[in-house]
Structure 1
């Protein structure tokens, strides 16, 4: 039986109360269904993974394309969905309120808002402007009367500004502005993660593991991390295999990459 939107949102909040859970990032309905079958308790969209599947670079999707994708993903699985909603798809606070309201209407259980600008010259919003963006998202959620979770993201390490002090300052400000969960993609070391968790406590912290890392789920849990996402890493895994197989066809003329693949019947049975 399909869970209602309210049930999904409640389950999502319950996952954040204690312990540590993995929040993997499917990029389409098929990958979402497989992850649900594997026993994961919640999923998060990935702007990069979906953009690549559309033949676009990350950050090039429109608000309308993203909302359509969110609706599709929410309807495809019985699990709560956290929306990678980039920076809110507007340059104004009122526009962010409208965008978040539309995202809530898709049925997502959580919405992440980041402070990146997309500009190489100035990759991060000024802190007051970033705070206003979180406040605008908070207003939209409160006006909706739903228990949709708001995640505030400090993109410092992700956009080439690896300043831990500024990252923590931003996360604390976003927490004060109404974010329910905090996220600094790109922090990697145990020391960085522990510092962020200590600064944000008791609110939950999301950590991204999307590149080489010797950390385990148990170690991240011991550091106080509440949830772990992988961003576009699963999508990159699929693309890596596809590119290598296609390159072998084009360059070497062999089919070795097709050896030992998951059988088609296996996939058909998974998608019945």
Structure 2
């Protein structure tokens, strides 16, 4: 297993090169090993994927941390932890979540300004910035400081105000965040506006974006990191549901398309031998 300091240095270096890197999101040890075997350079957890594993719409704080540890243990690749809002409104609680994620082995951490309450979904600007500042301080105090990503969630919760989103990202940049992220950007023009407005690497999630956008186009506008959120998990569940519906109707047309057992064995055996 790669030690945490080496993994953190590698993850930070990925953000410093000129071309973007792909950051797929496994949801358990098995999918982490499959993605490792496919040659990705780093992985990120997905809180929605964790919740889906338990048949719920939200995972608990401990489930998020346990999932992070399971994925870290399953792969030599750097792992970025999706920490949602840290499961705390106050900055001190956010800082504690950063510490616990570091103890779980994460070398990257993403925090967001979504409150968890859809009646008032986004933290007030001042509190949002204070929370990022507290997270930055906690991250820098860890024995192995992680790459800290600050997310502005406006666009996912009906606040279609790109200027306010950029204002928040600029403030998170000034507060010390290492990476900036506004999920819900759909077009290249929106992405370009964000990238050109901040001084830190920008993550773009393609799970909400125009799917015709290519990695080369993202590179041209200066995006440094490209993730997919829970999209792979949702894709897997869609395939599961489609197959189950066929079976319920007494048909089995999906069988020729399933992954051969031998291929799965090769993938997992190769990972165990590394």
TM-score, normalised on structure 1?
Answer: 0.96
1:16 aligned residue: 15
Q: What is the aligned counterpart of 2:63 among 65, 70, 75?
A: 65
Q: Secondary structure at the match of 1:108?
A: coil
- Partners of 1:50 and 1:225 in 2: CA distance: 27
Q: CA deviation at 1:95?
A: 1.3
How far did 1:151 drift? 0.4
How much has 1:79 moved relative to structure 2? 0.2
Q: SS at 2:212's partner residue?
A: coil
Q: Deviations over 1:81-111 (max 9, x none)?
A: 0000000111222111111111111111111
**Pair 1:83-2:81 in alignment:** yes
Corresponding residue of 1:119:
117
Contact 2:107-2:146 within 8 A present in 1 as well: yes
Instruction: Tell me by how many angstroms 1:124 deviates.
Output: 0.6
Superposed structure 1 runs of 4+ greater than 6 Å apart: none
2:147 and 2:47 map into 1 onto residues whose CA distance is 18
| CA deviation map 1:191-221 (0-9, x unaligned) | 10000000013x1000000145210000001
SS of alignment partner, residue 257 of structure 2: coil
Give the equivalent residue in structure 2 for 1:265. Answer: 262
C-alpha RMSD of the superposition? 1.0
The answer to whether residue 136 in structure 2 is matched with residue 138 in structure 1 is yes
* Aligned residue number for residue 40 of structure 1: 40
> The residue matched to 2:16 in structure 1 has which SS?
coil
- Structure-2 separation of matches of 1:43 and 1:249: 33
Deviation at 1:23, TM superposition (A): 0.4
| Correspondence for 1:210 | 207
Gaps of 5+ in 2: 270-274
Query: Does the CA-based 8 Å contact 2:48-2:59 persist in structure 1?
Result: no
Residue 272 (structure 2) aligns with: none
Q: CA contact under 8 A between 1:113 and 1:151: conserved in structure 2?
A: yes
- The offset of 1:119, in angstroms, is 2.0
Deviations along 1:33-82, one digit per CA (max 9) or x if unpaired, are: 1111111000000111111011111xx21111111111111111000000
3-state SS of 1:271 partner: helix
Answer yes or no: is the 8 Å Cα contact 1:10–1:147 preserved in 2: no
**3-state DSSP of counterpart to 1:269:** helix
The SS at the match of 2:148 is strand
Counterparts of 2:194 and 2:127, CA distance in 1? 22
Identify the residue that residue 102 of structure 1 maps to in structure 2. 100
Report how far residue 233 of structure 1 moved.
Answer: 0.5
- Which residue is equivalent to 1:5? 4
SS of structure 2 residue aligned to 1:213:
coil
